[in-house]
């Protein structure tokens, strides 16, 4: 699979096969991802990767826990602006329609959201964290690292689901894994083999036309 194919075939998978992922594959992907660029070569990303009993133990604890109050960071702030709220609504409508959940079925919607805590059935969970003193440029670097991992996973035939929702339970996760409070639990990345028959993995995702996001100057002069 070339890079363009990896980019076009990557999507957030929310239904995984019950099939293990070899340690060697995960190690190879993460070893290659070390070459992600970062400002000043700070390489701010850190992670813990879980499977088997440690993953099940964490999931049991999460299901018995409540979200952080207050949250350590807000990932949904752009939704206060109509342009970005519209994009969120569009995604939500397509996603919930794919699993047959109506807008007014609040309990079923809540159950679907809580499936984040069991990684949508994925056998591997990467938990990304870094020191709280990291600033916005380093957060950007971490995003590049995560995207590199996701594309390398596609090259291995694997899929993933990046989950900022795990940050909502950051303190619980840090307590389970022995991370101190100077650490920010940024997100999870569920990893596994996609269920190719699951409708939630096939709904159409809208993307903004390129002309709304990018201006080209000087070409063709």
Domains of the chain: 3-74+118-204 (3.40.109.10)
207 burial type by CB count under 10 A (0-12 exposed, 13-18 middle, 19+ buried): exposed
pLDDT-based confidence at residue 58 (cuts at 50, 70, 90): very high
Kindly state the average pLDDT of the residues 107-112.
Answer: 91
Note if the pTM is more than 0.85: yes
- Supply the pLDDT for residue 221: 73
Measured from the Cβ of residue 204, the count of other Cβ atoms closer than 10 Å reads 8
What is the three-class DSSP state of 183? strand
Kindly state the average pLDDT of the residues 54-65.
Answer: 97
| CA separation for the pair 167, 137 (Å, rounded) | 19
pLDDT in tens, 15-36: 999 999 999 999 999 999 999 9
Average per-residue pLDDT for the chain: 96
pLDDT in tens, 130-169: 999 999 999 999 999 999 999 999 999 999 999 999 999 9
Q: Poorest-confidence range of 44-53, 74-83, 188-197?
A: 74-83
- Contact of 145 with 195, CB cutoff 8 Å: no
Q: Poorest-confidence range of 68-77, 120-129, 158-167, 177-186?
A: 68-77
User: And the tokens for 92?
Assistant: 């939500």
User: And the tokens for 141?
Assistant: 């670097």
What is residue 68's DSSP assignment? -
Please report, to the nearest 10 degrees, the dihedral formed by the alpha carbons of residues 180, 182, 186, 190 taken in order.
-20
**Is residue 106 reached through a cis peptide bond, with omega within 30 degrees of 0 on the bond before it?**
no
What is the three-class DSSP state of 203? coil
Q: Would you mind telling me the total number of residues written for the chain in this entry?
A: 221
- Supply the pLDDT for residue 44: 98
User: And the tokens for 145?
Assistant: 């690292």
């Amino acid at each position: 699979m070339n890079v363009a194919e990896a980019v076009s075939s990557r999507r957030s998978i929310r239904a995984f096969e019950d099939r293990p992922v070899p340690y060697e594959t995960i190690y190879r992907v993460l070893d290659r991802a070390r070459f992600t660029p970062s400002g000043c070569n700070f390489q701010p990303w850190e992670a813990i990767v879980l499977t088997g009993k440690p993953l099940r133990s964490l999931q049991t604890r999460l299901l018995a826990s409540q979200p952080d109050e207050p949250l350590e960071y807000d990932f949904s702030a752009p939704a206060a602006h109509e342009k970005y709220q519209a994009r969120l609504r569009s995604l939500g409508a397509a996603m919930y329609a794919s699993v047959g959940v109506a807008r007014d079925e609040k309990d079923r919607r809540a159950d679907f959201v809580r499936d984040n805590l069991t990684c949508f059935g994925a056998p591997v969970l990467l938990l990304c964290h870094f020191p709280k003193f990291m600033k916005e440029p380093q957060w950007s670097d971490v995003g590049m690292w995560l995207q590199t991992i996701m594309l390398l996973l596609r090259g291995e035939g694997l899929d993933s689901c990046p989950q900022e929702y795990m940050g909502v339970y950051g303190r619980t996760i840090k307590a389970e894994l022995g991370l101190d409070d100077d650490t920010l639990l940024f997100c999870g990345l569920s990893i596994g083999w996609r269920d190719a028959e699951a409708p939630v993995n096939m709904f159409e995702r809208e993307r903004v036309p390129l002309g709304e996001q990018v201006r080209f100057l000087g070409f063709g002069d």
